[in-house]
Amino acid sequence: MPFSSESIRACFPALQERADHKPFIFFDGPGGTQMAQQTIDGLLGYITGGMANLHGTFATSRATDELLEAGRRGMADFLNCQPQEVAFGQNMTSLAFTIARSLGSFIQAGDEIVVTELDHRANVDPWVTLAQDRGAVVKFIPVNPETYTLELDHLDELITAKTKLVAVTMSSNVVGTVPPVEQIIQRAKAVGALMVLDAVHATPHYPIDFQKLGADVLFCSAYKFFGPHLGIAVVSAGLFEKLPVYKLAPAPTYIPDKLETGTQNHEGIAGLLGALAFIESLGEGNTRQERLRTAMQTVEEQEQRQAQELEAFLQTLPHVRLYRAPAGTRKTPTVAFTLEGVNSREVCAWFFENYNMNIADGHFYASTLAEKLGIMAQGGWIRLGLAPYNTDQEIELFKTALLAFIKRSY
C-alpha cells in the first residue's frame, strides 16, 4: 500500500474515531505500539480456528507446529538470521535472564563482563547477576553526560583478554542514541568475547541484519513493532548448539526448542506474523525479506524527518532541557526532555487531560543513565516516542500544547 500516515493509520483500530471519546494521540511508541489490524486478525484467527498444543497427530496440533515454524521464518526474514536461531519467550527480560543463567559455565571467577551506562536495565542486570554468581568483574562503558553517547576512546582498556561477554543496546530507549555497535562488536570479537545486543528499541525504527552484525545474541519484542506482547531471542547457531539450558528432562534438546520451556504463546506468534505482514505491506521487492527491509528503510526516513523537526523545536524553547545527542549522531525518534522546576508526571498528566496525548514519564528502567544525569528529583524524563502512524498534524498539535503549558507555568 502507499506509504503515508493516513494509509497507515487506517490499519490501526485504536486510532479510529469512536463515539465515546476522541481518539487518543499516541506518542508512547517506546513503551509499546498499537496493534495493526493484521496482528489482531492473526490473534483471532488462531483462537477462533481451533487452538492446540504441539506434536499431536490431529489437524489443529499440526497447524500449531507449522505456526511456530512460520513465526521463526518470518523473524528470520525480518532480522536476516536463520529460522533455527529464533526462540520465543515471555518477554525480552525473561529471555535475557534465562540465557544469562545458561551462560554460567562460560564465565569463571576473575573474568570480566562489560555493559553500558546507556542501556535499559534488562540488558544490564541479567549480566550483572551472572557476574555476581560466577565471581566475575563488571565494567561499564560510560556515557558522556553532555552528548548522551557512549565514550569509546578507551574501548581497548574496557574490553580486554579477560572479557568474556559484552552487552550493548542498539538504541537508547530514552534518548534515542544509536551506538556504533559495529565498532564494539569488532573489539569484542578480537578478544573472543560473546556479544549481546538489545534491539528492542531499534527493531521498530530501522532495518537490522543479524548475520552482517556478527553478534551472538540479539533480543527484541514484538509489541514494539505493532505486534503482541512476545519476547524474541536470536542466538547464533554455533553458540545455541553449545548453550546448556535449564529444561524438563523429556523436553527437546535441539535448537531452538530447547530454550522454549513450557507451552509458548501460540496466539501471540500468530499475531506476530500479522505484524510482520503489516510491515511487509509497506515495502517493495520480490521477496518478503526485501519488502521488510525496504519498509523499515522508509519508516526510518519518515521518522527521522519528524524527529528532527521536534528536536529543532524543543531546542528553541525556554525552560526546556532536551536530552538529545548532537547532530551527526544516529538516533531513533525517541525524544526526552524536562521542564525547569516542574515534575514530569504533572506535565504528562496535563497533556492527557487537555489534549488526549499519551506521553510517558519516568526513568524507563534506564536507571543508570537517570542517576548519572540526576533527573529523578523532578520525576524523570518526559519521553515523546514516534511511530509510523504519527502524523505531522499531531506533531504540530504537540507544539501548540507545549507552548500553552509553558505559558501557563512560567
pLDDT in tens, 209-238: 999 999 999 999 999 999 999 999 999 999
Half-sphere exposure of 50 (CA within 13 A, CB side): 8
End-to-end, the C-alpha distance of the chain in Å comes to 46
Using one digit for the tens of pLDDT, what is the confidence trace for 141-160?
999 999 999 999 999 999 99
Residue 397 sits in the same domain as residue 346: yes
Once rounded to an integer, what is the mean pLDDT over residues 393-404?
97
CA distance linking residue 270 with residue 285, whole number of Å: 24
pLDDT mean across residues, the chain: 96
What are the tens digits of pLDDT across the range 233-262?
999 999 999 999 999 999 999 999 999 999
Query: How many folded domains does the chain comprise?
Result: 2
Measured from the Cβ of residue 202, the count of other Cβ atoms closer than 10 Å reads 24
Provide the pLDDT for residue 145.
97
Report the distance separating Cα 173 and Cα 333, nearest Å: 10
pLDDT tens-digit map of 22-46:
789 999 999 999 999 999 999 999 9
Domain containing 376: what range? 5-36+289-409
> Cell numbers of 22, please?
476522541
For residues 45 and 32, membership in a common domain is answered with: no
Residues 143, 67, single domain; the answer is yes
Q: Amino acid identity of 117? A: E
Which 3-state string (H, E, C) describes 209-243? CHHHHCCCEEEEEHHHCCCCCCEEEEECHHHHHHC
Q: Angle, nearest 10°, between helix axes 59-79 and 288-315?
A: 60
Which residue, 218, 252, 280, sits at the end of a domain?
280
Q: Is the pLDDT of residue 61 over 90?
A: yes
Task: Write the DSSP string, 150-217.
Answer: B--TTHHHHS-TTEEEEEEESS-TTT-B---HHHHHHHHHHTT-EEEEE-TTTTTTS---HHHHT-SE
- 157 and 193 part of one domain: yes
At residue 18, does pLDDT exceed 80? no
**pLDDT at position 21, please?**
72
pLDDT over 60 (residue 1): no
Question: 282 by DSSP, 3-state: which?
Answer: coil
Q: How far apart are CA 166 and CA 187, in angstroms?
A: 10
CATH of the domain at 13: 3.90.1150.10
Whether residue 265 is found in the same domain as residue 340: no
Q: Are residues 78 and 147 in the same domain?
A: yes
Among 244, 259, 280, where does a domain finish?
280
pLDDT at 249: 93
Model confidence at 283, pLDDT cuts 50, 70, 90, reads: very high
Q: What is the pLDDT of residue 17?
A: 82
pLDDT digits (tens, 9 = 90+) for 65-87: 999 999 999 999 999 999 999 99
3-class SS at 326?
coil
Q: pLDDT per residue over 361-379, tens digit each? A: 999 999 999 999 999 999 9
pLDDT the model gives residue 2:
58
Q: Are residues 110 and 9 in the same domain?
A: no
**Are residue 316 and residue 231 in the same domain, yes or no?**
no
Among the candidates 256, 280, 304, a domain finishes at 280
Give me the count of residues in the chain. 410
Average pLDDT over residues 311-317: 97
The model's pTM: 0.97
Helix (H) or strand (E) holding 401: helix 392-409
pLDDT computed for residue 6 by the predictor = 81
pLDDT at 236: 98
| Neighbouring-strand partners of residue 143 | 150
Return the pLDDT at 390: 96
Model pLDDT for residues 323-373, shown as the tens digit of each residue: 999 999 999 999 999 999 999 999 999 999 999 999 999 999 999 999 999
| H or E stretch covering 264 | none
pLDDT tens column, 147-194: 999 999 999 999 999 999 999 999 999 999 999 999 999 999 999 999
242 and 306, same domain (yes or no): no
| 106 and 47 within one domain | yes
Grid cell 523537526 — which residue?
Answer: 309
- Is the pLDDT at 3 greater than 80? The verdict is no
Q: For the chain, state the CA radius of gyration.
A: 22
**254 lies in the same domain as 346:** no
